[in-house]
Amino acid sequence: MTRIVAQIEATPIAAPEPRRSRTSGIDRALQILDYLQKVERPATAYEIARDIGAPLSTIYVIVDDLVEKELLDRQDNGLLWLGPRLYHYGLTYARTLDLLNVAIQEMHELAQSSGETIQICGRDGDHMVVLAMKEGKDHFQVTSRVGTRSPLNWTASGRMLVGHLPEEERRAIFARSATASPTGRAETDQKVLASTAAAALEQRLSIQAGESDFSVACIAAPICDGEGACRATISIVVPDIKLKQKNPDLVHLVKASARRIESRLGWRSVK
């Protein structure tokens, strides 16, 4: 018996095989939707499967289900795009957002008083996204419409949206996300961006001209909550030749609008 026990104790116990990681159907569906949002254009099932690293057969099954439920739309040429059901969800969600509701009201008032194009922008991970937009009287054409996502380092709003974060976090964000802009004029150095982001938030003003689009300038002010975090921005988009105009004073107008939004939300008093 002693020999048997010793023999059992000496026998190595095989380690259990690691469980294979499985991706659930809902995770795959979210990967598909996230991919289409990222590329901002219709795509084939093959493109989606290839770029998210999923089996094509799996993607076909999930895509068919999403199309049937109107979460995806299959166009006549076979390309896939976001479906109408998502739009209705978005409208319902937007109606429940106090910040966006108040900001949109102020956006229309600022467009009227300034005569210029106004945007409300927020942060989506390492990108800035245009949440709402009102065109000015002269219909100055800008490429960034509602839903447009841009790297944070390209825009006045993008930098300010991370200005309240600790310096190390700001540097990490810009280190992984800062890219060259179409004009080649956007700053990409993480240290410079981290510093200017904090300074812009402290000054409650960020201005950029020609960094993302030629001859286009943006004057942005932060919308900060009670803790001082920049939750969104309101900005005036103009031809760069209008940056220094004083009648009306665009800098004064946009900063006053941001303060009124914060006041209406109860985050701080108007100064």
| Cis-peptide into 248, omega within 30 deg | yes
The Cα–Cα gap between 68 and 95 comes to 26
Q: Which residues contact 233 (CB under 8 A, 6 or more apart)?
A: 120, 121, 122, 156, 157, 160, 161, 206, 220, 221, 222, 223, 258
Half-sphere exposure of 234 (CA within 13 A, CB side): 32
**The pLDDT of residue 19:** 47
- The one-digit pLDDT tens for each residue of the chain (271 residues) are 444 444 545 555 554 544 445 668 899 999 999 999 889 899 999 999 999 999 999 999 999 999 999 999 999 898 999 999 998 888 777 766 689 989 999 999 999 999 999 999 999 999 999 999 998 887 666 777 888 899 999 999 999 999 999 999 999 999 999 999 989 999 999 999 999 999 999 999 999 988 888 888 899 999 999 899 999 999 999 988 888 888 899 999 999 999 999 998 888 754 4
The torsion angles phi and psi of 3, rounded to 5 degrees, stand at -65, -40
**The pLDDT of residue 172:** 96
**The pLDDT of residue 93:** 75
**The pLDDT of residue 5:** 44
pTM of this prediction?
Answer: 0.71
The Cα–Cα gap between 123 and 162 comes to 8
**The pLDDT of residue 258:** 96
The Cα–Cα gap between 52 and 42 comes to 15
**The pLDDT of residue 18:** 46
